[in-house]
């Protein structure tokens, strides 16, 4: 996927007027052009997604700063790539040659916490965990918890409509958005949404911007709903000799109305990788490991996990263990959270993000195993069993051209499998520039044209994060094509 280029600078070229205007508006300490700095902001955590080098990295402190940046960029037709902490996994924050990368991490204030209204007003640079910590003292809880919750920012969570381990009970980011402040491409400031529990005045524009990956506007403030703090959880772990047993448990849990606060699954590849890393004495012969928690509190939580434990036994689980010890529960959950770091120890990773109907989880796990054998690669699958959002991770040696090619083909195979099972190409990571061609396959030409019409209405020059979400007019058409793209060097 070829990066869209804009005006570039060199040692011999005169400073573009827009750069001087940015410095005048925000100050020299907020407009960075040193090559080592711009290179550091070239990409997010999707290490193999294409990226360019920004002409300037701009770090605003206020909404007025962001507005000034967008006015200047629009006047000079300079593309702008909004960015948070860079924890994304689809290339949505990857830079474009000669563009402005707009980094929002300095806007990191929790502006208000209202216990009576159960809401918080925050800037986009607030770290997810910092928001949790800020409201905990008031007995409140912000549920969305991506795996990178200790360093990802709320702005990035909003841009990608992030989820996390708690989605099965609490939902995803968009379920907590009451209102937004958004700077439009021409610098105007849009305030949309509400502070009330109910409100249906006009279109729900706030949710339009959630999940738009920085292509429609720059979110500068969010009003978020909160929940009462959860109770101390009760934790269950179970292992199975077949993936079919795991799928049976998930289906039965949904069918009987059990709603744990989280329900996670790891396949054998992940189990062994985590055990090698943590020396946790996991069952290395198990085909799947299920971890679940209930935060219903006291006897209710114990009862909920006992129902799930019985479902595991009925499905033929090899091991079922329930604990109300918070420390032991944290250790069990750590094994799940360390799945991706454990796989990264085995080689370079392509992390996928496919969600399938919960009734097809077992078929998806088996399908990924088949793809791994067919392509001669390691593929570990970890995911949110409670909502069907799986994260197959392709592991390969990037110095081996043949392995690299097979890895990208396997990545596309996994997406194809997900769609064939009635799923979606992304449950929470977004499209970025890694899956643009696959978006059209999933949503179809009519839906794609509506998306493009909305984009054209809000960003007629195509300056906001160009090349993301929508397939570029030129360049490789699918992830497997990226293996040979020059931008992946």
121-150 confidence digits (pLDDT tens): 999 999 999 999 999 999 999 999 888 889
- More confident position, 239 or 473: 239
Angle between helices 361-375 and 401-420 (to 10 degrees): 160
Kindly indicate the confidence band of residue 257, based on its pLDDT and cuts at 50, 70 and 90: confident
Asked if 165 contacts 94 with a C-beta cutoff of 8 angstroms, the reply is no
pLDDT at 481 over 60: no
* Chain segment 98-129, per-residue pLDDT in tens: 999 999 999 999 999 999 999 999 999 999 99
**Closest listed residue to residue 478, CA positions, set 427, 434, 413:** 434
Sequence-ordered list of residues with C-beta below 8 angstroms from that of 271, at least 6 positions apart, any chain: 282, 283, 284, 286, 289
Instruction: Judge whether 84 and 124 are in contact, CB under 8 Å.
Output: yes
Both tokens assigned to 430: 């977004």
Instruction: Judge whether residue 3 has pLDDT over 80.
Output: no
How high is the mean pLDDT of the chain? 91
Structure tokens at 379: 């593929």
* Residue 184 confidence (pLDDT) above 60: yes
- Characterize 30-58 residue by residue with b for buried, 16 or more Cβ atoms within 10 angstroms of its Cβ, and e for exposed: bbbbeeeebeebbbbbbebbbbbbbbbbb
On whether the CB atoms of residues 138 and 118 are closer than 8 A, the answer is no
- CA torsion 245-278-281-242 (nearest 10°) is 10
Average pLDDT of span 157-172: 91
249-270: average pLDDT = 92
Q: Are 183 and 217 in contact (CB under 8 A)?
A: yes
What's the pLDDT score for residue 480?
52
First to last CA, the chain: 13
Give, in order, the Cα–Cα distances in Å from 225 to each of 122, 125, 139, 142, 163.
Answer: 11, 18, 13, 8, 15
Is the pLDDT at 7 greater than 80? The verdict is: no
Q: What is the pLDDT of residue 6?
A: 37
With a pLDDT cut of 90, the percent of the chain lying above it is 83
> 396, 359, 81: which is closest to 247 by C-alpha?
359
pLDDT in tens, 269-325: 999 999 999 998 999 999 999 999 999 999 999 999 999 999 999 999 999 999 999
Q: What is the pLDDT of residue 475?
A: 40
pLDDT score of 4 more than 50: no
Q: Pick from 49, 102, 95: which is nearest to 74 by CA?
A: 102
pLDDT higher than threshold 70 for residue 471: no
Predicted confidence band of residue 225 (pLDDT cuts 50, 70, 90)? very high
Q: What is the pLDDT of residue 168?
A: 87
pTM, two decimal places = 0.90
Confidence of residue 14 (pLDDT cuts 50, 70, 90): low
Q: Please report, for residues 205, 244, 330, 447, the alpha-carbon distance to residue 470 in angstroms, rounded to integers and kept in the order given.
A: 20, 36, 40, 12
Q: How confident is the model at residue 477 (pLDDT cuts 50, 70, 90)?
A: very low
Residue 49 pLDDT exceeds 80: yes
In this prediction, residue 166 carries a pLDDT of 85
Cβ neighbours around 218 below 10 Å, total: 28
- Spatial separation of the C-alpha atoms in residues 64 and 82, rounded to whole Å: 15
How many helices and strands in the chain, by DSSP H and E? 15, 19
């Amino acid at each position: 996927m070829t990066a869209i280029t804009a005006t570039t600078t060199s040692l011999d070229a005169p400073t573009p007027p827009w750069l001087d205007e940015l410095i005048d508006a925000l100050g020299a300490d907020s407009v960075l052009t040193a090559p080592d700095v711009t290179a550091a902001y070239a990409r997010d955590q999707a290490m193999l997604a294409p990226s360019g080098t920004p002409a300037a990295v701009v770090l605003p402190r206020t909404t007025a700063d962001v507005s000034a940046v967008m006015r200047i960029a629009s006047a000079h037709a300079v593309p702008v790539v909004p960015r948070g902490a860079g924890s994304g996994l689809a290339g949505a924050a990857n830079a474009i040659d000669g563009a402005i990368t707009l980094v929002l991490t300095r806007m990191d204030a929790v502006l208000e916490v209202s216990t009576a209204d159960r809401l918080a007003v925050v800037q986009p640079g607030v770290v997810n965990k910092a928001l949790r910590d800020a409201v905990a003292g008031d007995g409140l809880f912000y549920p969305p918890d991506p795996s990178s919750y200790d360093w990802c920012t709320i702005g990035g969570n909003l841009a990608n409509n992030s989820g996390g381990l708690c989605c099965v009970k609490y939902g995803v980011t968009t379920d907590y958005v009451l209102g937004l402040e958004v700077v439009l491409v021409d610098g105007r400031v849009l305030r949309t949404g509400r502070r009330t529990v109910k409100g249906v005045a006009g279109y729900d524009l706030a949710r339009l911007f959630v999940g738009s990956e920085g292509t429609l506007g720059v979110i500068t403030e969010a009003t978020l709903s909160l929940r009462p703090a959860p109770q101390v959880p009760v934790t269950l772990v179970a292992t199975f000799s077949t993936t079919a047993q795991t799928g049976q448990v998930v289906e039965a849990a949904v069918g009987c109305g059990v709603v744990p606060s989280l329900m996670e699954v790891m396949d054998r590849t992940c189990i062994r990788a985590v055990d090698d890393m943590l020396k946790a004495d996991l069952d290395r012969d198990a085909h799947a490991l299920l971890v679940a928690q209930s935060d219903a509190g006291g006897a209710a939580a114990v009862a909920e996990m006992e129902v799930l434990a019985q479902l595991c036994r009925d499905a033929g689980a090899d091991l079922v263990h329930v604990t109300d010890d918070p420390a032991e529960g944290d250790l069990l959950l750590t094994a799940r959270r360390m799945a991706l770091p454990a796989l990264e120890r085995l080689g370079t990773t392509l992390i996928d993000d496919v969600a399938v109907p919960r009734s097809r989880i077992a078929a998806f796990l088996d399908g990924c195993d088949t793809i791994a054998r067919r392509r001669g690669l390691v593929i570990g699958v970890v995911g949110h069993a409670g909502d069907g959002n799986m994260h197959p991770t392709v592991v390969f040696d990037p110095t081996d051209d043949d392995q690299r090619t097979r890895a990208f083909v396997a990545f596309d195979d996994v997406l194809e499998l997900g769609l064939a099972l009635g799923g979606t190409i992304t449950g929470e990571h977004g499209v970025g520039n890694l899956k643009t061609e696959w978006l059209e396959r999933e949503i179809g030409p009519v839906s794609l044209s509506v998306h493009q019409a909305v984009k054209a209405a809000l960003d007629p020059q195509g300056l906001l994060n160009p090349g993301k979400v929508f397939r570029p007019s030129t360049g490789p058409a699918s992830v497997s094509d990226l293996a040979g793209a020059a931008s992946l060097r």
